[in-house]
Amino acid sequence: MLTRRSLMASAAALAAGSIVPAVASNTLAPVINLLEELVGSGQLPFAGIRIARHSEILAQAHVSGVETIGPESLYRVYSMTKPVVAAGAALLVEDGQLTLETPVADIVPELAGLTVLTDTSGGTEPARPMTLAHLLTHTCGLANSWGNARTAPLYRQAGLVAGAWMYDPDMGGLEGFAQRLGRLPLEHQPGTHWIYGYGLDIAGLVIERVSGERLGAFLRRRIFSPLGMSSTGFYVPAEHSSRLTGLYTGADGVVERVAAQQERLPLIEPYADGGSAGLITSLEDYGRFAGMLANGGVAAGIRVMSEASAQMMMTPYGPQEAITPALQRFGLGGEPRQALGGVTWLEDHAGPGSAGEYAWGGAAGTAFWATRSSGLSVVLMTQLMAPGGTVARERFKPLIYRALAELP
């Protein structure tokens, strides 16, 4: 039940324009209360949440904190770009233009003749063929410029810096990015281990070459426009710059805005669309994408992808035994299985009804999940570049599944 305190706080905040609730039932009030608590205590700078089932919005709120947010606010979703790009690849598979086992080198010859590191002294061996599925499941052997991978220093030396390479005019866009990667060894043999890296960026190049369109244009035509995601793209046009939320870091209930240069990068049009972490979007827009997956490829009566393609995306792909430990070390609870662009659970890891959940998150504390069996989709937006953002978002899952079980 809503308490008198929370009702008064919500009413005052609504009058000030800082919270816009649309709670369908008091059963979901604890979710909104938790959102207010996390913002009010300084654990999050602000937050928005959207909960829907079979395209019906059950609860939605925009809770302001250090700055005011609302339905028009735009967020950096970082790695939540990956499921969208995976959906784009799945559409090309559905069209018959690709298969998940298509060798990447057939489309991106810059990655033909790859090698793999064999020891810390720089020894290498020839790489096995890399497939589209490897790119979409983080098993391709491409690492990242951050972290403790053996190849990370090599990436940095080559200018392949996460979140920055797409703004480098000397990179040569996605083609130049692939060329530089092709001259470096892989961290491991494709299909043998899991490592978080640049696979979805290369998947974006595959999409570009097969479709003949820039990644953002393809996604707009096949996903964003059909779903009405008019506020989603790889940069924020100048006329919408005021809608971009700030980016924060913090701990112990104190948040601080990050350096202006990093924070304002989304206002610059990149030389390439980064398929790993480049999208900026709104709560409503990403909610439509999540709802489409939860409803088997359909949103508001519009079919974006076949039910088989949506199911393919959200189903564990390939052998899981060798990669599950790495997924668990990455901070995912239960027994996560790698699907295309995200992970899924086959058991009720977050409460009754959570089996079959497909999910992923972003570096700034954003998160989403879609559960096909119940038609549930949930999107959480904030902008906190700190572990606290990740910890906070995990607190919502059991509350939401518990409430869902009580709803008619």
pLDDT single digits (tens) 6-21: 323 333 343 333 444 4
Instruction: Tell me what the mean pLDDT of segment 140-169 comes to.
Output: 95
62 vs 120: CA distance, rounded Å: 49
- Condensed to tens digits (0 to 9), the pLDDT of residues 92-108 reads 999 999 999 999 999 99
Q: Which is nearest to 39 in space by CA: 59, 11, 15, 9?
A: 9
Instruction: Tell me what the mean pLDDT of segment 45-65 comes to.
Output: 95
- Please answer whether residues 106 and 97 qualify as being in contact, where contact means their C-beta atoms are separated by less than 8 angstroms: no
| Share above pLDDT 90 across residues of the chain, in percent, rounded to a whole number | 80
31 vs 325: CA distance, rounded Å: 31
Instruction: Tell me what the mean pLDDT of segment 318-341 comes to.
Output: 88
Distances (CA, A) of 282 to 16, 126, 403: 21, 43, 25
**Quick one: pLDDT band at residue 275, thresholds 50, 70, 90?**
very high
Mean pLDDT, rounded, of the chain: 91
pTM of the model: 0.93
- Condensed to tens digits (0 to 9), the pLDDT of residues 343-371 reads 999 999 888 899 999 999 999 999 999 99
For the cut 80, the answer to whether the pLDDT of residue 25 exceeds it is no
Domain with CATH 3.40.710.10 in the chain: 4-79+229-406, 85-215
Q: Which CATH architecture has domain 85-215?
A: 3-Layer(aba) Sandwich (3.40)
Q: What is the CATH number of domain 4-79+229-406?
A: 3.40.710.10
- pLDDT value at position 389? 67
Instruction: Tell me what the mean pLDDT of segment 235-251 comes to.
Output: 95
In angstroms, how far apart are the furthest CA atoms of the chain?
Answer: 67
Query: Any bridge partners for residue 115, and if so which?
Result: 126
Query: Any bridge partners for residue 377, and if so which?
Result: 52, 370
128 vs 126: CA distance, rounded Å: 7
**Quick one: pLDDT band at residue 3, thresholds 50, 70, 90?**
very low
- pLDDT value at position 7? 29
249 alpha-carbon distance from chain centroid:
19
For the cut 90, the answer to whether the pLDDT of residue 393 exceeds it is no
Instruction: Tell me what the mean pLDDT of segment 155-181 comes to.
Output: 97
